[in-house]
Amino acid sequence: MAPYVVPLILLLATSLSAQSPADIDRLGEEAVRRTQEYLRINTTNPPGNEAAAAAFFARIFKQEGIVFDSASSAPGRGNIWARLKGTGSEPALVLLHHMDVVPADPKYWESDPFAAAIRDGHVYGRGTLDTKTLGIVQLQAFLALHHGRVPLKRDVIFIATADEEAGGAYGAGWLVKNRPDAFKGAGLVLNEGDGGSVEDGRELFSIEVTQKVPLWLALVSTGKPGHGSGPPVSTAVTRLIRALYRIQTHEFESRIVPAVDAYFKGMGRSASPEWKEFFKDIARASTDRNTMLKLQMWQPGLAALLRNACSITMLQGSAKINVIPPEARAQIDCRLVPDQDPAAFTRELESVINDPQISVEKIMGFTPAVSSTDTPLYRAIEATIRRHFPTANITPSVQTGFTDSHFFRDLGLASYGFAPFLIPVADDSGVHGNNERISLENIRRGTSMMLEIVKAVAAR
C-alpha cells in the first residue's frame, strides 16, 4: 500500500489549495462557451420547455461522471439536480437558478435574442442576467469541486428549476411539494436576487436577504346586466372603476422594517451627495412627500420598499361592446413590506374599496421571511467581494420582486440572492428588457468568485 500513500496525500493537499491561474482561466473560458450554448436553448415561459435545458445539464453530468436526477412537473417542464457528497457535518449548500426566461421580441433587439452573439466584449441573449449566466458559473464551481476531488464538510447541491418567471409552481414550488429529496439536508441556498452595480465609478454589492411579499388579488364586481344603449347609474364596470381609483389614490402608511433600514443605510455609504442624507435616515425622509415623489420618479423600486403597494395590471369586462356585463374583474399585484401579515392587508384593502358588491379573492401569496447576515454563506460572499473589490460598498438588500428563494425560506433555509457580477446600471435595464447582455469579463471573474464562495463554505 505504501506507493499509494504519498500521491493520495498530495492529491488531498492540492484539492484544498487555490486553483492555479491556468485552471481559473480554463474554467472562465469554458463558462463563456457554456453560457452561449445555454442561451441558445429557447426556454421562453410560456411555455417554458425547460426539459431541453435540463437535457443540456444532463449531458454535462454524464460526461463528467456525476450522478444526477431529474423530474418533469408537466410535459416539457423539466427540473434537474445533482449532489456532491460531503461528510455531512454541516447542512448542505444549494446552488439554485431557474432555466426559464421571459419572452423577447426580436424586432426590438439588435441581434437574435437566442443567438448568444458576442459583440463589443459582451454576450447578448435573453437570460444572460436572468439567470442563465448565474447557472453556468454555479455549474463551473460545482464541476471544479468534482474535478479537484475537494473534501467537503457539507454536501453541495446544484439545482436548476423550471417556471420561476411564472411563480415557480412547476419548478421550485413543485420540488418542495413532490421531490424534497432534491435538497434533503440543506441549510443554505445561493440563488439569484442581487449582485454588483457600478455607476459613476461607485461600486455597490447588494446581497438579498428578503423580499417584499407578493400578494396577487382579484377584484370581482357584480351588477345588473343590460344593453349598452341604456346605461344605468351603476354597473359592475363602473363599480370596479371606482374601487380601482380608490386603491390607486390611497397612500399606504410608510413602514420602515429593520431589513429595509439596513439596506438604505448601506446604500447611503456610496450614494451621491444628493441622496446620502436621505438614505442615512430613511424613516425621517419618508415623511416628506416631495422627497418621496422625487425618489419614486428616480427609483420607483426603492420607493416601493418603504410601504405596501399595489399595481393594477389586468382588467376584464364585457366580451361585447354593446353588452353591460353582470361581472367585471381586475387583477392587482400587491407587494407587502417583509413583516406584513397578508390577511391584515387584505382587510385594509377591503376597507379602502368600501363596496359590499366587490369581493377580493386571493390568487397567490407567500409568507414573509428574512435570512440572517450571520451565516457562513453570507460571510463568504462578503469576504469574496472584498478580495476582488476592496473599495466596494457591501450591504444586505431587500428586493421588491420575488424569486424562488421564498420557497426555501418558508422551510427555514437561509437563502441569499447574489450573482457575482458587477453590472453597469445602464445594462441592468436589459433584465426583462431589450438587448439583455453580460460582459465576458463578468463571466470569467464571476466563475472565479463563485468557486471561492463555494469552497469557503463547503470545503474541509
What does pLDDT average to in each consecutive run of 10 residues of the chain (460 residues)? 32 48 92 99 98 99 99 99 98 99 98 98 98 99 97 99 97 99 99 96 97 97 97 97 98 93 93 87 90 90 94 97 98 96 97 98 92 98 98 96 96 98 90 97 98 98
Listed in order, the ranges of the chain carrying CATH 3.30.70.360 are: 213-252+308-363
Please answer whether residues 72 and 79 qualify as being in contact, where contact means their C-beta atoms are separated by less than 8 angstroms: yes
How far apart CA 59 and CA 71 sit, in angstroms, is 15
Place of cell 457535518: 89
How far apart CA 209 and CA 201 sit, in angstroms, is 25
Phi/psi at 176 (nearest 5 deg)?
-60, -40
pLDDT at position 7: 34
Residue 3 preceded by cis peptide, ω within 30: no
Please answer whether residues 421 and 195 qualify as being in contact, where contact means their C-beta atoms are separated by less than 8 angstroms: yes
How far apart CA 57 and CA 67 sit, in angstroms, is 12
Please answer whether residues 176 and 383 qualify as being in contact, where contact means their C-beta atoms are separated by less than 8 angstroms: no
Listed in order, the ranges of the chain carrying CATH 3.40.630.10 are: 16-210+369-458
C-beta neighbour count of 390 within 10 angstroms = 8
How far apart CA 206 and CA 389 sit, in angstroms, is 13
Place of cell 395590471: 313
CATH 3.40.630.10, applies to 16-210+369-458: yes
Please answer whether residues 45 and 166 qualify as being in contact, where contact means their C-beta atoms are separated by less than 8 angstroms: yes
The reported pTM is: 0.89
pLDDT at position 11: 36
* 242: CB partners within 8 A, 6+ apart: 355
Domain covering 213-252+308-363: architecture: 2-Layer Sandwich (3.30)
pLDDT at position 347: 98
Torsion 180-185-188-189 (CA) sign:
negative
pLDDT at position 18: 55
How far apart CA 205 and CA 420 sit, in angstroms, is 9
Tell me if residue 3 falls in helix, strand or coil.
helix
C-beta neighbour count of 365 within 10 angstroms = 16
